[in-house]
Structure 1
Amino acid sequence: MTSEPDNYSDRVYRSSGAIVGGALLLALIAWLGGDALVRGSGRSPFIALAVVCAMAPLIVAFSLRPAVFANQAGVRIRNPFRTVVAPWSRVESVRAGYSCELVADGVRYQLWSIPVSLRARSRANRHNQRLAAGEQPKGAFGIGTANTTDTGPRSAPSDAAVSELKEMAEQNRERPDAEGQVTVTWAYELIVPAAVGVVGVLVLWLSA
């Protein structure tokens, strides 16, 4: 997961793994679809076009699109098919369990771009337990000892991101520019092409 500057915000949270995986899937579907369009015969090119139209928006929605943008005024959550903008004055809590979520005006919104890794959380907990017991932290893969500079407490990436968002909410909740209403908008630019592609695949399949 990466945190980087953005024009809208001071911090941006995205999953690097999801971005890489999405880019690879898009490249694969483009290659397979292009090959079917060029070499296919009969209905094959039309089916390939419909499949690409259905799959590409879904891949973008679940891998490249999710992000969380946070600044002093509030947070913008870009999930697969909708975008939620919540001023800090409306944010009640930010928490990480088996998934990360934000509660605003009594409604829970998942943070798709901040995935929870139970393995990373477990490693961080073991590291912190060793420090608390006065033991030397383990190195990579539990072998040897850690770097001598790695002597502070650790947090899993998702937990660290949630802690930062909590801190921003607490610090900025009373700001005048943190007032407003929670707004939700839908990503029709992805929903419509995906729906058209699915309908096209079904029509071509049933008419075969």
Structure 2
Amino acid sequence: MKPQVYRSKLAWIFGWAWLVFAAWNTWDLIAHGRMPSALIAGAVLGVITALVFVMALRPAILAEEGGVRVRNVLRNAYIPWNAVDDLSVTSAIVIESGGTAVRCWTPQATARERARAAGQAVKAASSKDRVERATAAVGGRTHADWVAQQLEEMSRSRRQTSTGEARVTWSPSALAVLAAALALVVAAVVLS
């Protein structure tokens, strides 16, 4: 079964747009650039691209059959459904398991988004229209609240099929991308 992926759609679109921009500029630097300025511009482009990858494209919550996998900026966490003790939403979704609390990088609820959702809920609840009153329960939630509710329902329904144990590890892909960006900066400093 394919995992269900929750992430910031805006960050994901921005990340891919940046990658297209970076690829175009890399081609331009290779085709038309002159040393050492092309090397310095390439290093800056590489550092920004690495940051966009780890902060916009990589973070996600993957709801799998056996548990929930959280990809944050530099760390990965896996929590089987039967080990999920509590799910809460402040500005971010927090999944608690035993003594471990995993704070999810995405999706997050801003104070403005919370205030707008609360205002919509109050307006819908005080309305005389049945359709608006029916949407009052949905109107008071942010995207992060909705994702947390989905995860909580999955945790309850999939407890019997969960596998593995809770673990938090460093992300090899994120560390490799940051190391490559650092290598570009060192090469630009040494060769220019």
What TM-score results when the alignment is normalised by the length of structure 1?
0.77
Q: Which residue of 2 aligns with 1:141?
A: none
Give the residue type in structure 1 aligned to 2:182.
V
Task: For structure 1, list consecutive stretches of 5 or more residues without a partner in the other structure.
Answer: 1-6, 138-147
State how far apart, in whole Å, the 1-side matches of 2:176 and 2:37 are.
23
Give the number of the structure whose residues are more often helix, by fraction. Answer: 2
Return closer, same or farther for 1:184/1:49 CA change in 2, 3 Å cut-off: same
| Residues 136 and 50 of structure 1: CA distance in aligned 2, closer, same or farther (over 3 Å) | same
Q: What is the CA-CA distance between 1:51 and the residue it aligns to?
A: 3.6
> Aligned AA for 1:59?
V
Shift of 1:203: 4.5
Whole-angstrom CA distance in 2 between matches of 1:184 and 1:190:
14
SS of 1:30's partner is helix
Q: Give the partner amino acid of 1:111.
A: C
What is the Cα deviation at residue 26 of structure 1? 1.6
Q: Could you tell me how far apart the structure 1 residues matched to 2:80 and 2:183 are?
A: 38
Q: Percent identity?
A: 26
Which whole-Å deviations, capped at 9, do the CAs of 1:132-191 have from their partners, x for residues lacking one?
Answer: 4x3358xxxxxxxxxx74432221111111122122223333x1x325311234332332
- 1:205, CA displacement in angstroms? 2.4
Q: Alignment length, in residue pairs?
A: 188
Is the counterpart of residue 42 in structure 1 residue 35 in structure 2? yes
Unaligned 5+ residue runs, structure 2? none
Contact 2:91-2:109 within 8 A present in 1 as well:
yes
SS, match of residue 180 in structure 1? coil
Distance 1:193 1:62 in 2: 12
| Mapped pair 1:118 → 2:104 | no
- Which residue is 1:171 aligned to? 157
| 2:74 corresponding residue in structure 1 | 81
**RMSD of equivalent CA atoms:** 2.5
Q: Displacement of 1:114 after TM fit?
A: 1.1
Normalized against structure 2, the TM-score is what?
Answer: 0.82
